[in-house]
Amino acid sequence: MSGVGIRQDGFVAVIAEAELRSGEQRALTLSGVPLLLCRDHRGQLHAVTNVCPHALLPLTGGKLEGCALTCPKHGARFDLVSGRPLNEVAATGLRLHEVAVREGSICVRLGSMTPARQQRRSSATN
């Protein structure tokens, strides 16, 4: 995409909005950070660091179901809204980045959301 630059609000245009349809994902690198952009079935955009915290491998090609992404290597499953792990495979969550649409482009602001440090959901009751 030509004309990529940092906007006053800290967002960087990465791809045209029309290039990512519902249910699709796109891997890219921004300022040396591997990113995975996903558009869920509702059309909501998500940007995460493209590294599974369990296996330290790319999440690219993982199964996208609703707002959940499953790592294609070992089956770790994550909530794309909170970053939390949804199964017992991973103990830590995904690093999330703020994503927005500006003037027809999908834009990302790196480091704008804290890493998901929440523990995975427990089925045990207290």
Q: Residue 84 has which token pair?
A: 């939390």
Note the pLDDT tens digit of each residue in 101-116: 999 999 999 976 655 5
Torsional class of 54: left (φ above 0), alpha (ψ -120 to 50), beta (otherwise): alpha
- The predicted structure's pLDDT at residue 7: 67
Q: CA angle 15-35-85, nearest 5°? A: 130
Spatial distance between the Cα atoms of 125 and 122, rounded to a whole number of angstroms: 8
Average pLDDT, stretch 43-58?
95
The domains located in the chain, with CATH, are 12-109 (2.102.10.10)
| Under 8 Å between Cβ of 86 and 64 | no
